A = this chain, B = another copy of it.
């Protein structure tokens, strides 16, 4: 397949360019000096006509149609599952490699689900579509507004301002009041498991990324009033006894990870520190006190949902496609 050759200075399209992740994709391409010959921006008819800056020049956002992919080698999709499903066929037929941020094809066995630090080899197996995991499968579970998009971030700001001013506010984007509140993740609950879609995604996608369907995961996903970085408290059990110091050593060498674990200053990963950062911050590395086998470790982590959780990971996949 032609797609398996490394690409040279490809034409890149961002689909969903005006959304929270779309804007971040453009930032990532610019900051990482991604080798492209042309950037094209697409969005729905509603957002078409706007202009966005890239490398000092304004690029006009065009309406996405089936003809948008002519001459496009890489399509970074971030416009939701239904848009991906609607346009994937036309894009692949036009020779575009799709790197998709939606959940549309993540669990499709033909589609690699890639975190470049974990399973870059899976990129080679693509048949035109590569999926970018759900942010929470990478960083997980006390989640910021940004996971629900730019409109939810704005709703958090606006509802908080209304609360502080003693004014009424009716949520439009999210189903519950967000100002100074927290709530179980606003995705549909599967009655069979009583777990919501976000939780189910984390379980399934983690297994797919690690290539191990036996990984046992228990999870609760909650939204907290934080703007763009998620945080997560994880306790994991290893096959053999392991010390916090050994885990710390492994994480210090891990790409894309920054250990922030200052016990004396009580300084650990925080969403405000993670925001805008490429690295996932990891700290509170310690023994799980409920465990007597010495195999269980607890950590606390924060990572930017828009960057490593979406845009950055997609651009890292794209980088592996170019020569």
A156 within 8 A of B: yes
Interface string of A219-235 (1 = CB under 8 A from B): 11010111100010101
Please measure, in the bound complex, the distance between the C-alpha atom of A289 and the C-alpha atom of B286, giving whole angstroms.
Answer: 24
A208 within 8 A of B: no
Please measure, in the bound complex, the distance between the C-alpha atom of A203 and the C-alpha atom of B286, giving whole angstroms.
Answer: 15
Tallying the copies of this chain within the complex gives: 2
Binds B, one of A49-57, A89-97, A267-275: A267-275
Residues on B with beta carbons closer than 8 Å to the beta carbon of A277: none
Q: Which listed residue, B156, B160, B194, B286, touches A284 by the CB 8 Å rule?
A: B194
Q: Are A284 and B225 in contact (CB under 8 A)?
A: no
Q: A181-B272, A191-B263, A224-B225 are in contact. Are A290 and B217 (CB under 8 A)?
A: yes
A298 within 8 A of B: yes
Q: Are A180 and B156 in contact (CB under 8 A)?
A: yes
Binds B, one of A16-24, A123-131, A182-190, A305-313: A182-190
Number of interface residues of A (CB under 8 A): 60
Q: A218-B290, A287-B194 are in contact. Are A224 and B142 (CB under 8 A)?
A: yes
Q: A225-B225, A226-B225, A272-B177 are in contact. Are A182 and B231 (CB under 8 A)?
A: yes
A292 within 8 A of B: yes
A38 within 8 A of B: no
Residues on B with beta carbons closer than 8 Å to the beta carbon of A231: 182, 222
Residues of chain A having any CB pair with chain B under 8 Å? 142, 156-157, 160-161, 164, 175-177, 180-184, 186-189, 191, 193-196, 203, 216-220, 222, 224-227, 231, 233, 235, 244, 263-264, 266, 268-272, 283-292, 296, 298, 300, 302
Sorted nearest first, the 10 A-B pairs with minimum C-beta distance are: A194-B286, A218-B290, A216-B290, A220-B233, A184-B268, A218-B288, A181-B272, A189-B263, A224-B224, A183-B270
Knowing that A156-B180, A193-B289, A220-B298 are A-B contacts, what are 12 other residue pairs whose CB atoms are under 8 Å apart, sorted by A's residue number? A175-B266, A177-B272, A180-B227, A180-B271, A181-B226, A184-B284, A186-B266, A189-B264, A194-B263, A218-B235, A220-B284, A224-B224
A-B contact pairs, 19 of them (CB 8 A): A142-B224, A156-B180, A160-B160, A164-B164, A177-B272, A180-B225, A180-B271, A181-B272, A182-B270, A182-B271, A184-B269, A186-B266, A189-B264, A191-B263, A194-B263, A195-B289, A216-B292, A217-B289, A220-B300
